[in-house]
Structure 1
């Protein structure tokens, strides 16, 4: 699969990408590099479709204009920050991902086999029963890649995959991506300034500076190309460091010369092999052996699942007027999501319940918060609610209970939901699930804990305040408090999704 691009990206204050052109072929590990502020992340966001604001231009797959909805099903975007559920084990996270990303017709045993295979290939099998919060930075990055490999996308975008990793982990991560790319995938990542050894792992390099493409081609052609424009890289110098220093913001003359020589990305200095034949067809989707060097120096031979045939890219037409939920014969990529809404809801609800009730610290804080506040309010209004003539005491008692439930439930979501939104954005963008099952599961997963903790508080304040010991009145009081809790939680979700207060 060949991705061709011509993009112009502008924001109200300045132009970030200036009509750059480029090409990323299947079977190659490609990197976008350049100085800080060169437009690397902006280009990657435009390529993946993560951010269209202020972007104009064309993006083609195998010389065909990209269908945005189909492209999102064929690709995945792994962001710089590893967003993973912290309370789940590595194997549980991958199994939940398999439940969401693989079709309902796939048996659980088959899903586990796929998960196990990916764990073995990525060197994660020894940590499969470890909670993700205790994984190292390199393991978290490999887990992020593993989660997206479950449905075997042919196009993978990564933003700074080596960020925060040591040299050994960074090298291993790039070797892994290189092996995956050589199976026929199109893998594009951004990287700031790789070492000389890591730089040689890339098959294709796309260098940006001040929004212009100053080089596009293979790593071994970079130094000869620089020599043709009068820039001579010393033999002992890292070519990646040299071109970044040569195209720094203060070197405008070098930027102009390089961008002109590259025709702003229209020219490409490739290896001798013909990349015009890198189209992804059924011939390139056979299972190939993947050789990956382990961290201890041993070489492990493993196999990944074959890439699915993508008839649309090879030239088949797709009728966009048809319902997206209808599966056409011979084209299994026309479904928005691989699983039904009910299946998504059940999987997300189980994941949220498991995550919620493994958070022992959070549960203990809520328990003692409701217990202590209930005792405090009960002591303040002790035996004052049994006198109907004390109107103001009754009003203060009712308002105090309403305010307690309002702030307690809303603040939990205001503080917790912004971090959840980051995970939601990534998983929804990569087409794991739709929003309706997610929010339904989010609301219902909180119901048991809200009922339990609210009942502790209401029982304490009701009986300590001296209200009549009548089941009907106690039930009405409890139900009203619960309704306030549910409304307040919705308010907290609204505020937490709009404003990041953490």
Structure 2
């Protein structure tokens, strides 16, 4: 529900949008007219720049969004764990027990409680970050939330660990986010001005060209908030925003959140055990213990409520510390008794406010009661006049540009990959020098072809196996906050890695093919094709494994699968393979690539090989005899190419589905 606090500004006009140092300040004395004037304005008036102070850096506000109140009833959350003992058993544990409450716009709300109380679970559930096991009714402005995108547009979620793109500067991070979120329906000048104003409000105006990785903990936290403020969401969720910060940074962070809330947003954060100073800065307090609500109300109402059951906070004692002691039962309290007390006191407070005559209410309470029926619908708020985000093509181009910048600044890995391919090419080239033309060195050349394929498979697969596991958290945050769709993101990743791996492969081929003395005719094209397709297919396996396995599992499964597929076609022929494993032989991309290489070199009507004069007999002088003995004769190159390409596309599609499920099935 919309409240009049959204428009009230202490010590001045009740209209935030009309606060200025110039003649644009509202002169209306009637509050109803003032509201209409405020609603007619698309943006807040920006005050002229002045020298910032410590407590109030700059008096600027962001474009006005209609306020959104959050209400939830009978929320439960059940986690499921599968245990493997004698039998596979399912164990369900209820973490939240039918909790209810309401968080209003214009207020900074803190969700407190001891460890394991369910703070982050409640926050994530209300934000829509988790759905599985989360039950109950969540309402935005009295409209029940579903999985419709119109509700997601209202939310910004900032996790406890601020997952940021560390190789980029602050300004680069902000501008890419602005291009993605604000699109190209607005000018670049507008986006630059918005970025600079947000950074100035958050105290980051001197860090424009600082690498994100060099920011302090407090600065990173503020940058994470700044990135989400570009879309100007009416509801902001923050998980433990003060964790890991010193006392000064904590104070600055909470002061910033309070400022954002008092501009009309609904700001909700979890916090474990704040100092007395921070504790008093919150407008609204919601306390959980053992999955139950033990307090819900204003901060100054906490101690009087506890005193009703004989719990008196000692003098000069931090109320937050005393609250945690009570919540864990140190003063002989029972969670059920505290929850029952909260239900009684909460109902009594709601009744008193509803029945109170106008003369006993404060100006803000009167204003809230008067405009409570003016609450806009979620449909209107989600369709609120705002810049249209970038389309899919522009998302791809922007993400591709960002990946190129990160690649340029993290070039050591790519340089190492280039050096490795060149070094192994030289090593193999001299170990197997000129083995490509003689019948006496055919088996040595056969081993060279196998080693080449094995190298390209491992370098293609293992170089990308950890790509998704290492950045899945930042991907979850950006995708959940509607920065981009998954399709453009994945294509932007592939179009960085695939061309680079192809370049490394061709470097290896150019050196090793020449040094080993292979025929310089049309066969080289098939050699390049199969080496390239094999390493790209192995790369698709790396992406698929990384998208489905944690880091510790991915680094083990990747090499094992590569080794398994490399057995077929070299160590064992089709006829020697047991019937139950012949399907693995058939679908082995390594076998298809390796046989394609071998047939390209020794098939395709190759003439008799040279047999040195000192050799009495060359068994494989006729390459057709060699191909026949190893089960490669009569190979259809195009069938192998089709198999490798098909597996590559299937694995990339499977990777996309796996990532989509991780991002959307929470």
TM-score bracket, normalised by the shorter chain, equals: 0.7 to 0.9
Structure 2 match to 1:312: 377
TM (norm. structure 1) is 0.86
Listed as ranges, the matches of 1:397-436 within 5 Å are 397-436=448-487
Larger radius of gyration between Structure 1 and Structure 2: 2
Alignment correspondent of 1:58: 137
User: 1:191 and 1:265 mapped to 2: Cα distance?
Assistant: 23
Report the TM-score, using the length of structure 2 for normalisation: 0.65
1:11 equivalent among 76, 79, 82: 79
In structure 2, C-alpha distance between the alignment counterparts of 1:256 and 1:394, rounded to whole Å: 78
From 317, 321, 339, the equivalent of 1:259 is 339
1:140 Cα deviation from its structure 2 partner: 0.7
- Choose which of 509, 533, 537 in structure 2 pairs with 1:487: 537
CA contact (8 A) 1:2 1:25 kept: yes
Flag the 1:55–1:250 CA change in 2: closer, same or farther, 3 A: farther
Bigger RCO of structures 1 and 2 (CA < 8 A, at least 6 apart)? 1
2:101 to 17, 22, 34: 22
The alpha-carbon deviation at position 278 of structure 1 amounts to 8.8
Q: Deviations over 1:332-365 (max 9, x none)?
A: 58x9x82211111111111111111221222222
Residue 196 of structure 2 aligns with which residue?
116
1:438 pairs, out of 482, 489, 504, with 489
Contact kept in structure 1, 2:326 and 2:333, CA below 8 Å: no
Q: 1:388 to 1:177 in 2, by over 3 A?
A: farther
Distance 1:363 1:78, change over 3 A: same
Query: Shift in Å at residue 484 of structure 1?
Result: 1.9
The Cα RMSD (Å) is 2.6
Partner of 1:274: 365
| Contact 1:385 1:466 (8 Å CA) reproduced | yes
Cα pair 1:184 1:280 within 8 Å, conserved? no
TM-superposed deviation, 1:189: 0.5
**Deviation for aligned residue 1:258:** 1.3
Pairs aligned (count):
461
Give the distance between the partners of 1:209 and 1:476, measured in 2 at CA: 67
What does residue range 87-236 of structure 1 map to in structure 2 within 5 Å? Answer: 87-236=167-316
Tell me how far apart the structure 1 counterparts of residues 320 and 169 of structure 2 sit (CA, whole Å).
38
Show the counterpart of 1:501: 551
The 3-state SS of whatever aligns with 1:274 is: helix
The answer as to whether partners of 2:467 and 2:543 remain within 8 angstroms in 1 is no
Alpha-carbon distance between aligned partners in 1 of 2:197 and 2:373, rounded to the nearest angstrom: 22
Residues 1:266 and 1:408: Cα distance change in structure 2 (over 3 Å)? farther
Alpha-carbon contact 1:9-1:56 (below 8 Å) kept: yes
Cα deviation, 1:215-267, whole Å, max 9, x if unaligned, reads 11111111111111211111211111111111116778431221001129964
* Deviation by residue 1:66-100 (Cα, 9 ceiling, x = unmatched): 24321111101000111111211110011000111
In 1, Cα distance between equivalents of 2:345 and 2:543: 44
Which secondary structure state, in structure 1, belongs to the residue aligned with residue 520 of structure 2? Answer: coil
Gap change, CA 1:227 and 1:266, over 3 Å in 2:
closer
Displacement of 1:29 after TM fit? 0.6
- The match for 1:32 is 111
User: How far does residue 281 in structure 1 lie from its aligned partner after superposition?
Assistant: 10
**Contact map agreement 1:26 1:280 (CA 8 A) in 2:** no
Partner SS, residue 413 of structure 1: coil
Q: Does structure 2 retain, via aligned residues, the 8 Å contact 1:22–1:266?
A: no
Change (3 A) 1:279 1:409: farther
Shift of 1:452: 2.4
Q: Distance in 2 between matches of 1:241 and 1:172?
A: 21
- Bigger mean CA deviation after superposition, 235-244 or 65-74: 65-74
- The separation in 1 between residues aligned to 2:551 and 2:130, in whole angstroms, is 23
Kept after mapping to 2: 8 A contact 1:101/1:339: yes
Q: Alignment partner of 2:334: what SS? A: helix
